[in-house]
Amino acid sequence: MVYPTLFQIGRYTVGTHDFFVLLGVCAATLIFFYEADRRHMLTDQLAAVAVGALVFGALGAKLSTTWQYVVLAPEPSLLGAIERGGKSILGGLAAAYGGAILTKWLVGYRERTGDLFAPAVALGMAIGRWGCFLTEQIGTPTTLPWGISVNAQLASHIPNCPTCASGVKMHPSFIYEIIFHACSFGVLWWLRPRVFVKGELLKMYLLCYALFRFGVEFVRGNQIVWGGLTRSQLFLIPSAVLLCLYFWRQWRRDVYRLPSLDSIALQPYGSDHA
């Protein structure tokens, strides 16, 4: 779907994509600090970690695709890179993760924060992906009953989508992602007080998303670059392998061994093991 402008207030135009991304960031921030307060973890250091993740995430999302503009544009410029350089959610997630780790090291924060970030990121993604659905290429052709098509006027605004103008039904690939992230948020929200290994929820969510996104790429319509795979898939393969190796190492160290009944009995009533 292509609705680049959501609404206009006087001379100011509100872009659809930017609006939903900002809405998702705001929702994620609220969830993050709500969870931090619930777990009695809210400190200035933790706030700095959240800011570091946001700043690095924004930079990573932009810079990870800017090189394509620099290579392909006949006369690349800084303004052109800002306006037409694109964004990558995978680049943003990776940079945000690294930014949080770096900021924790700089401010001397030692607590694990994955359980705070996981539901926040999932909700932010579920909201922000609506901006992608309404402004970007939809997906590959499909005969499934939930496929969607666009009229000629909308199709003229979609870049690199020859099937859009033909009226063929296409996979709503971003809707698949929205459903995944919304369900992930529900599961993560339910798991919050029930996990006994602290700090693992974010890595669990990222691994599930890596596997899911790898599959969605086959119906996304992105450019194939090598071996029948897209750039995103080539990035996701080593990312998923690293996460699997992490969980395998944790399992070998008996980190996920269920606590004994005696140790559970010694926990104070109402403890969420966070």
Q: What is the SS3 assignment for the chain?
A: CCCCEEEEECCEEEEHHHHHHHHHHHHHHHHHHHHHHHCCCCCHHHHHHHHHHHHHHHHHHHHHHHHHHHHHCCCCCHHHHHHHCCCCHHHHHHHHHHHHHHHHHHHCCCCCCHHHHHHHHHHHHHHHHHHHHHHCCCCCECCCCCCECCCHHHHCCCCCCCCCCCCCCECCHHHHHHHHHHHHHHHHHHHCCCCCCCCCHHHHHHHHHHHHHHHHHHHCCCCEEECCEEHHHHHHHHHHHHHHHHHHHHHHCCCCCCCCHHHHHHCCCCCCCC
* Residue pLDDT, tens place only, 107-151: 999 999 999 999 999 999 999 999 888 888 788 888 898 888 876
Q: Is residue 33 part of a domain?
A: no
Q: Is residue 188 part of a domain?
A: yes
Most confident of 4-18, 63-77, 141-155, 189-203: 189-203
pLDDT mean across residues, the chain: 83
Count Cβ atoms below 10 Å from residue 181 Cβ, excluding itself: 23
Per-residue pLDDT band at 193 (split at 50, 70, 90): confident
Domain of residue 126, residue span: 113-256
pLDDT above 80 (res 162): no
* Residue pLDDT, tens place only, 217-236: 999 888 888 988 999 999 99
| Mean pLDDT to the nearest integer, 244-254 | 91
| Lowest-confidence pick of 37-46, 199-208, 248-257 | 248-257
Higher pLDDT, 215 or 80: 215
Structural domain total, the chain: 1
What is the percent of the chain with per-residue pLDDT over 90, rounded to a whole number? 47
Residues 6 or more apart whose Cβ sits within 8 Å of residue 10: none
pLDDT above 90 (res 211): yes
Give the pLDDT confidence score for residue 212 in this predicted structure. 96
Backbone angles phi, psi at 228, to 5 degrees: 75, 10
Q: Is residue 44 part of a domain?
A: no
Q: Is residue 59 part of a domain?
A: no
Give the pLDDT confidence score for residue 83 in this predicted structure. 56
Q: Is residue 77 part of a domain?
A: no
| Rounded-to-integer distance, Cα 194 and Cα 259, Å | 13
pLDDT above 80 (res 207): yes
Q: Is residue 224 part of a domain?
A: yes
Q: Is residue 128 part of a domain?
A: yes
* Residue pLDDT, tens place only, 252-263: 888 777 766 555
Q: Is residue 30 part of a domain?
A: no
pLDDT above 70 (res 186): yes
Per-residue pLDDT band at 274 (split at 50, 70, 90): very low
| Rounded-to-integer distance, Cα 247 and Cα 253, Å | 10
pLDDT above 90 (res 183): yes
Give the pLDDT confidence score for residue 74 in this predicted structure. 56
- Would you say 14 and 8 are in contact if contact means Cβ atoms under 8 Å apart? yes
Place of tokens 């109402």: 270
SS (H, E, C) 50-61: HHHHHHHHHHHH
| Mean pLDDT to the nearest integer, 24-48 | 94
* Residue pLDDT, tens place only, 47-105: 999 999 999 999 888 887 665 655 555 555 555 555 555 678 898 999 999 999 999 99
